[in-house]
Amino acid sequence: MTDAKPLTGLELLTTTRSVRRRIDRTREVDRDLLLRCLEVAMQAPNGADEQAWRWIVVTDEKQREKIGACYHAANEQFAASVTARADAGDEAAKLKLASSGVFWDHLGEVPVLVIACFEPQPWFDGASPYALASAYGSIFPAVWNFQLACRLEGLASCLITSHLRFADEIAKIVELPDQFIQAGIVAVGHLIGSSFQPARRNPLNEVVRFDRWS
C-alpha cells in the first residue's frame, strides 16, 4: 500500500471520505492498482454468497464525457435549487455547491468511473423491502470495500447515485446487458494533497436508541 505510515483499522474507517474537490482530474490511475482494489471489493459479505456483482471500469475519455453529461442532466433541477439557496445566503447550500457542484460540472473529467452493477436473482421482485435490502445489501458492502481499498492505496473516491435517473442512457453508453441493474458509480482518482480527515457527525445520543424508540 502507498501510505508511508500504516493505517490502523480505526483510522481507515474514520477517514475514508466522499472526496470530490480533491480528486485529481489530471492524473491517470494505474489499471493494476484498480484491479487490486476490486479484488478487495469482492471479499465483501453478500447474500447467499451469490456474488452477483459486476463492475465496469470506465477510463475512456469519450465514455466518461457521455456519463458526465448524463450526471449533469440528472442534477440540473437540484443544482438550480441549491444555487438559488446559496445566492440567497444559505451557508449550508454554499458548502454543498462547493462540493457537489464539482461533479455536476466535471464528473466526466474524473479519470476513473467504476459502475457497480448486480444481476438480480429469481427472488428479486424490485419492490419488497426484503428483495431490495437483500440485493442492495449485497452490492453496497462490496462498494464500500472498494472505497476502503482505494483509501489504503492513497486514492480518493466518491459514490454517486443520482445518475440513475438516466440509468437507461448509462446502460447504452457502456453496453450493459438488460439483465443487470446499476447500483451506483464510484468516481476514483489520486488525492490532491496528503491528508484524509474524519467528518463531522451528529452526537450518538441524537441517533441511537436502546430497546425501543421512546
Alpha-carbon span 4 to 16, nearest angstrom: 17
Crossing angle for the helix pair 91-106 and 61-74, nearest 10 degrees?
A: 140
Q: Cell numbers of 59, please?
A: 477510463
Model confidence, pTM: 0.92
Q: Mapped to the 3 state alphabet, what secondary structure does 82-132 carry?
A: HHHHHHCCCHHHHHHHHHHHHHHHHHHHCCEEEEEEECCCCCCCCCCHHHH
Which of 57, 99, 49 is CA-nearest to residue 79?
A: 99
In the prediction, which pLDDT does 1 show? Answer: 46
* CB distance 114 to 57 below 8 Å: yes
H or E, element range at 204: none
Longest alpha-carbon distance in the chain: 54
Q: Cell numbers of 134, please?
A: 437483500
CATH class of 19-63+109-194: alpha beta
Which of 136, 139, 114, 140 is CA-nearest to residue 127?
A: 136
As beta bridge partners, residue 158 has: 187
Alpha-carbon span 167 to 126, nearest angstrom: 15
* CB distance 188 to 34 below 8 Å: yes
* CB distance 99 to 105 below 8 Å: no
Domain borders along the chain are: 19-63+109-194
What's 23's DSSP letter?
B
Q: Residue 7 contacts by C-beta under 8 Å, 6 or more apart in sequence? A: 15, 151, 152
* CB distance 110 to 54 below 8 Å: no
In the prediction, which pLDDT does 4 show? Answer: 52
Tens of pLDDT along the chain (214 residues)?
444 568 899 999 999 989 999 999 999 999 999 999 999 999 999 999 999 999 999 999 999 999 999 999 999 988 888 888 888 888 887 887 778 888 999 999 999 999 999 999 989 999 999 999 999 999 999 999 999 999 999 999 999 999 999 999 999 999 999 999 999 999 999 999 877 888 889 999 999 999 999 8
Alpha-carbon span 176 to 189, nearest angstrom: 23
Which of 86, 139, 85, 87 is CA-nearest to residue 114?
A: 139
